[in-house]
Structure 1
Amino acid sequence: MKRKLCTLGFLTLALVALTLGSAWAETIRIGLMCPLTGSWASEGQDMKQIVELLAAETNKAGGINGNQVEIVVEDDGGDPRQAALAATRLTTKEISAVIGTYGSSVTEASQNIYAESGILQVATGSTAIRLSEKGLPLFFRTCPRDDEQGMVAAKTLGDLGFAKIAILHDNTSYAKGLADEAKSLLEAQGKTIAFYDALTPGERDYNAILTKLKSAAPDVIFFTGYYPEAGMLLRQKMEMGWNVPMLGGDATNNPDLVKIAGNQASEGYMFLSPPVPADLDTPEAKAFIDAYKAAYGNAPGSVWAVLAGDAYRVIAEAIAQTKDTSSEKLAAYMQKEMKDFSGLTGKISFNEKGDRVGDLYRVYKVDAAGAFVLQP
C-alpha cells in the first residue's frame, strides 16, 4: 500500500511539474532595461508604462501566437555601472529579448553582456554611431544615429545664418560623438568653431563654463548633452543676462527641460529630434496615444519612451512571424524580412548593422508657454 501511495505521489508531482513547465514555456518573457531612478527617471518611467501597456494589449488580444507576454523590468539608473549589473540580472531571467536603454554610454555598458549571452537587444534612445559599428549581430535600435543628427545640426545652423559656433558636450558617448560629428561637418562648411569643450553633468552651477563661452563671443551655442544640464544652462544664461541663441541635440527633448529652466529662459530654445509624441501621425500612434492617456491621464513626455514602444512592437512582430523566440532567428527576420513595419514613430526597417533606416529628425522651438513647436 505504501509503495502504491509513493508511486501515486511521484506521478502527481511529475504531473504538477509538467503542468508548471508547460505554463512557463507558454509565457514569452521580454526584458526592459530603463532608468527608473536618477536624473533620467522621467524617461524610464514612461518607457516602463508604455511597454507594459502594449504588452497588456497584446495579452488581452490573445498574446503572441497564443502565448502570454511578461515584461521583466530592471532599473539601470541612467548609469553605466548600474546598467552592467541590470543587464547581468536580466540574462538570468530566461528572457527572449531585451528592450533598452536610454543613453548611449548606458547602452554600451550592457552590449557585450547581452551579446555574450546570445540575447537580442533593441536599444531605444541610444544614438552613438559606434554602438552599431562593433559587428554585434543581435544589436538593433529603433532610434536614428548621431551621424544623421550631425548632418541635420550642421544644415540647421547653416540655414539659420550662424557663422561662429560654440559646441558644448558632456563627454558621454552620445554627446561627444554628436559634438565631434557636428564639428567636422561645420568646419567643412567653412564655419568658425569658437569654442569646443565639455561640462560635467549633474552639477548645479554652470556659471564658470558659461563665462568661458561668453568670452568666446559665439553667434550660437550647440549643446549636445542631456535635458537636465540644458535646462540649467538656459536658466543660468538668462540670469547672467546673456541672450545668445542655443540649439540642442535630441537628448534635450523632454518637457522637464522647461520645468528646470522656466518658461522665460526656455523661450526660443531650439532642438533637433524625431517628432514629439503630439506630432506622431500614424494611425497606430494616434490609437496608442489615446490608450496611454486613458491609462495614465496624460501623453508620454518624449519620443524616446515611444521608441521603447516601437522596440516592443518589432520584437513582438518578429516572434509572431517566425513563431520562434530564438534571438538568432528574430534578428535574422528583423534584418532581412522586416520592411516598412508600421511603428508608432513611422515605418521601420533595419540595415545590416541593426540601425533603423530613414530620416526621423525635425527641428523644434520652445514657445512662450513652454510648448515644443515643430518648425516648418
Structure 2
Amino acid sequence: MKKVLLLTCVLCLAASLAGAADTIKIGVMAPLTGAWASEGQEMKQIVDLLGEELNAKGGLLGQQVEIISEDDGGDPKTAALAAQRLSTQEVIASIGTYGSAITEASQNIYDEAGILQVATGSTAVRLSEKGLQYFFRTSPRDDDQGKVIARTIMEKGVKKVAVLHDNSTYSKGLADEAKAILEEQGIEIVFYDALTPGENDYTAILTKLKAAAPEIVLATTYYPETGLLLRQKKEMGWDVQLVGGDANSNPDLIKIAGADAAAGYLMICPPVPKDLPSEEAQNFLAAFEKKYGGTPGSIWAVLAGDAFLVIAEAIKATESTDPEELADYLHTSLKDFPGLTGLLSFNEKGDRVGDVYRVYTVDDQGNFKLLQ
C-alpha cells in the first residue's frame, strides 16, 4: 500500500511539473496596494487582458502564457521581496514597476537571476547607466523630460523659479536635471528644497515657497503630494502656477486637488491614454473599457502593456524563452515595433529610443488638455 501511495505522489509531482513547463510565465511587479494602487491595479489589468488576448490566439511557441503578479506596495523593501518571489517562480521576464526607487530595489535581483526586466513607470537616468544586461524600460528618461520641462518654463518668460522635490530617486533626479538647464540659461532658482511624501498638510512649506517670491513653481512630486499642494495653495490664496512631471499623469491628481484648484496646472508627460494616436491603441482601449467598465486613467499602465507586447514579440521572433537571446533581440533587432504608446525601439542601455513627452494643462472642468 505504501508503495502505491509513493508511486501516486511521484506521478502527481511529475504531472505538476509537466503542467508548469506547459506555460510561459511572465511576472508583473506593481503597486497593487498603497498610495499608488490605482497605477498598479491598472498595470495588472492591462497585462492580464493582453495575456488573455494572446492566449486566445494560441499563446507563444505553442504554449499558453501565465501572468504572475506580485504587489510591491510602492515601497523599495517590499519590491525587493516581490522580485525575490517572482525569481523563484520560473518567470522568464518581469514587467514593472511604477516609481524609480521601487524599480531600483529590484534591478540586481532580476539581473543576478537572469530574468528580463522591462520597467514601465521608472524614468530616473541612473537606472540604465549600470550596464545591466537584462534591464529595459518602455518609459522615457528624466534627462529628456528635464529638457522639455525647462523649455516649457523658459517659454513663460519668467526669471525666478522655485523647485520642490521629495528626495526620491525620480523626484530629486528630475528636479536636478531641470534646475541645471534653467540655471545655465540665467534663470534664478529662488527656492530648492524637499517635502516629506505622505503627509496631509504642506502649508508650512508652501508658506516658505511663497516667501521666496517665485514666478512659477516646479514641483517634481508624485500626484498624491502635488494634488495636496494645489489644493492647499488655493486655500491660502496663492495663485502662482505649478509645473510638474510625468508622475502626475493620473486623474487622482485632480480628485485630490479639486478641479478648481487644479485648473491651469502644467504637466509634462507622455500622451495620456485618450490621446494615443494609433488604431491599435484605440482598439485596445475599447477592449479594456468593455472588460473593466472604464478606460485607463494613466499612461503608465499602458506602458506596462507595451512591456508585455515587446516581451511577446521577442519570444516570437527568437522562438526562444532564453533571457540572453531575448535581451540581445531587444537591444539589436527590435526596430519601430508598433506598441500601444507609439513605435518602440531600445538602445544599448535598454532605454526607449525617441521623444514621447507632451505638455498638458488642466482645464476648468478638471480634464487633462493637450497643449503641444
- TM-score category (smaller protein): over 0.9
Q: Separation in 1 of the partners of 2:360 and 2:351? A: 24
2:164 counterpart SS class:
strand
Unaligned runs of 5+ in 1: none
Q: Superposition pairs for residues 286-325 of structure 1, below 5 Å? A: 286-325=282-321
Q: How many equivalent residue pairs?
A: 372
Using the TM superposition, give the Cα deviation of residue 14 of structure 1 relative to its aligned residue in structure 2, in angstroms.
Answer: 6.8
SS at match of 2:148: helix
Deviations 1:135-172 (A, max 9, x none): 10100000000000000011111112122110100000
2:118 partner SS: strand
1:148 maps to: 144
Q: CA-to-partner distance for each residue in 1:224-263, whole Å, 9 max, x for gaps?
A: 1100000000000000000000101100110000000001
Partner of 2:63: 67
Name whichever of 209-218 and 321-330 sits farther off.
321-330
Q: Which deviations, in whole Å up to 9, do the C-alpha atoms of 1:106-156 show, x marking residues without a partner?
A: 000111111111111000000000000011010000000000000001111
Alpha-carbon separation, structure 2, partners of 1:21 and 1:212? 61
Of residues 156, 162, 172, the one that matches 1:166 is 162
Would you say 1:355 and 2:351 are equivalent positions? yes
Structure 1 match to 2:184:
188
Shift of residue 23, structure 1, vs aligned partner? 2.9
Query: Which whole-Å CA distance do the structure 2 matches of 1:17 and 1:200 have between them?
Result: 51
Q: Relative to 1, partners in 2 of residues 1:21 and 1:165: Cα closer, same or farther, differing over 3 Å?
A: same
**Which of 370, 373, 376 is residue 369 of structure 2 equivalent to?**
373
Fraction of identical pairs, as percent: 63
Query: Aligned partners of 2:333, 2:264: CA distance in 1, in Å?
Result: 43
SS of residue paired to 2:197 = coil
Amino acid at match of 1:208: A
Distance of 2:235 and 2:295 partners within structure 1: 32
Please show how residues 215-234 of structure 1 align to structure 2 within 5 Å: 215-234=211-230
In structure 1, what is the equivalent of residue 101 of structure 2?
Answer: 105
* 1: CA distance, partners of 2:8 / 2:194: 66
Q: Distance in 1 between matches of 2:83 and 2:5?
A: 40
What SS class does the counterpart of residue 94 from structure 1 fall into?
Answer: coil
Q: 1:43 matched to which residue of 2?
A: 39
1:13, distance to aligned residue in structure 2 (A): 7.1
* Structure 1 residue 34 corresponds to structure 2 residue 51: no
Counterpart secondary structure, 1:98: strand
For residue 264 of structure 1, what is the amino acid of its counterpart?
Answer: D
Could you tell me which amino acid in structure 1 is paired with residue 318 of structure 2?
Answer: T
Mapping of 1:5-16 within 5 angstroms? none
Amino acid at match of 2:25: R
Deviation, structure 1 residue 9: 8.9
For residue 132 of structure 2, give the secondary structure of its aligned residue in structure 1.
coil
User: 2:271 maps to which residue?
Assistant: 275
**2:201 aligns to what?**
205
**1: CA distance, partners of 2:173 / 2:125:** 7
Displacement, 1:270?
A: 0.8
**Which residue of the other structure, out of 239, 242, 245, is the alignment partner of 1:246?**
242
What are the Cα deviations for residues 187-231 of structure 1, in whole angstroms up to 9, with x where unaligned?
111111111110000000000000000000000000111000000
- Report the residue type matching 2:72 in the other structure: D
Indicate the SS of the match to 1:30: strand
SS of 2:60 mapped into structure 1 = coil
CA distance in 2, matches of 1:56, 1:375: 36
Task: Quote the Cα distance in structure 2 between the aligned partners of 1:199 and 1:332.
Answer: 41
Report the 3-state secondary structure (helix = DSSP H, G, I; strand = E; otherwise coil) of the residue aligned with 1:168.
strand
SS, match of residue 368 in structure 1: coil
Kindly provide the amino acid, as one letter, of the partner of residue 62 in structure 2.
G
How many angstroms apart in 2 are the aligned matches of 1:369 and 1:233?
19
TM-score, normalisation: structure 2: 0.97
Secondary structure of the 2:289 match is helix
Counterpart of 1:128 in structure 2 is 124
